[in-house]
């Protein structure tokens, strides 16, 4: 783990926040090292006879991992070099292109420290998915469902990490009708590439349950799902021709400009190609 501190945004920070929640700190599990994370780190350092500087280096990482019951994910769950080689061969893509996309578009780690795939539940999508199944979403709106069922997109209810499973399970159990469980899973993005569940059938899975079962296996399955998504949305040829702007726009939306995804893809490709 590299040294991180206040203001850093990275996959290591996401993992740090996961570990802090395991120590009962109330932090949002995200990839941003903000005020609450800084406060929690300093408290952890104070209570463990470490230098209280808010900097998470070797000693703080070591102490956090030592006290965590999370352990480490077995290698058979993680994406391998062979997975990327197989993907490039299956889709007739240059390996450097595949590695560039994996580096820029994946979110660093496809599983939580407890071994479940990383997810993000979207309440506005849940609203839409219920409606698609002939269910009146408005009838289920109350103070108890505010964080799982709403008509317009918002990030205010994101909690990240294991907390997203709490939201998902709450949505699944909103009604005993199987349509609710189905809609909730379809309203969730899954794994390393955060493919939305509502894509499951259109990209080749028999149903949402087969999709989620595959997402629980390993990051290699996450990569396969990502490949199916690319193929369904005619993005393979875009990658094959290294049209970084077009790919970034279609995969990330208009926000790609702000995050410079096209530049990151191009730079990553040039590094791997060389």
CATH code of the domain covering residue 48: 1.10.101
Give the strands of the sheet with 195-196, arranged side by side.
119-121, 188-190, 195-196
Other beta carbons within 10 angstroms of residue 113's beta carbon come to 20
Task: Please tell me the predicted confidence (pLDDT) of residue 113.
Answer: 82
Task: Please tell me the predicted confidence (pLDDT) of residue 259.
Answer: 84
| Closest C-alpha to 56, from 24, 23, 21, 12 | 12
Examine residue 39 and state whether it is found in any structural domain, yes or no: yes
CA-to-CA distance for 260 and 23, rounded, in angstroms?
A: 35
Task: Please tell me the predicted confidence (pLDDT) of residue 235.
Answer: 96
Examine residue 168 and state whether it is found in any structural domain, yes or no: no
Examine residue 31 and state whether it is found in any structural domain, yes or no: yes
Domain that residue 59 falls in: 11-67
Q: Tens of pLDDT along the chain (274 residues)?
A: 789 999 999 889 999 999 999 899 999 999 899 999 999 999 999 999 888 999 999 899 989 988 876 555 566 788 889 999 999 999 999 999 999 999 888 877 889 888 899 999 999 999 999 999 999 999 999 999 999 999 999 999 999 999 999 999 999 999 999 999 999 999 999 999 999 999 999 999 999 999 999 999 999 999 999 999 999 999 999 999 999 999 999 988 888 888 899 999 999 999 999 9
Domain count, the chain: 1
Task: Please tell me the predicted confidence (pLDDT) of residue 10.
Answer: 87
Examine residue 157 and state whether it is found in any structural domain, yes or no: no
Examine residue 205 and state whether it is found in any structural domain, yes or no: no
Examine residue 62 and state whether it is found in any structural domain, yes or no: yes
Examine residue 115 and state whether it is found in any structural domain, yes or no: no
Examine residue 22 and state whether it is found in any structural domain, yes or no: yes
Q: Whole-prediction pTM value?
A: 0.80
Inter-residue contact 229 to 141 (CB < 8 Å): no
């Amino acid at each position: 783990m590299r040294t991180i501190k206040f203001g850093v945004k990275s996959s290591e920070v996401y993992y740090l926040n996961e570990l802090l929640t395991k120590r009962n700190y109330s932090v949002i599990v995200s990839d941003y090292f903000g005020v609450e994370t800084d406060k929690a780190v300093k408290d952890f350092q104070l209570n463990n006879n470490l230098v209280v500087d808010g900097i998470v280096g070797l000693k703080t990482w070591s102490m956090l991992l030592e006290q965590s019951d999370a352990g480490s994910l077995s290698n058979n769950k993680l994406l391998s070099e062979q997975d990327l080689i197989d993907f490039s061969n299956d889709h007739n893509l240059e390996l450097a292109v595949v590695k560039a996309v994996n580096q820029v578009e994946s979110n660093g780690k496809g599983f939580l420290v407890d071994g479940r795939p990383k997810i993000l539940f979207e309440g506005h999508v849940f609203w839409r998915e219920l409606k698609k199944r002939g269910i009146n979403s408005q009838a289920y709106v109350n103070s108890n469902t505010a964080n799982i069922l709403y008509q317009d997109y918002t990030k205010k209810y994101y909690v990240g990490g294991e907390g997203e499973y709490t939201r998902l399970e709450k949505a699944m159990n909103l009604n005993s009708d199987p349509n609710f469980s189905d809609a909730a899973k379809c309203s969730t993005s899954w794994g390393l590439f955060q493919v939305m569940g509502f894509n499951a059938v259109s990209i080749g899975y028999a149903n949402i349950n087969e999709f989620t079962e595959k997402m629980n296996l390993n990051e290699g399955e996450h990569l396969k799902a990502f490949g199916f998504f690319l193929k369904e949305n005619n993005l393979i040829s875009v990658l094959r021709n290294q049209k970084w702007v077009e790919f970034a726009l279609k995969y990330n939306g208009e926000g790609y400009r702000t995050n410079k995804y096209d530049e990151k893809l191009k730079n990553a490709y040039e590094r791997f190609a060389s």
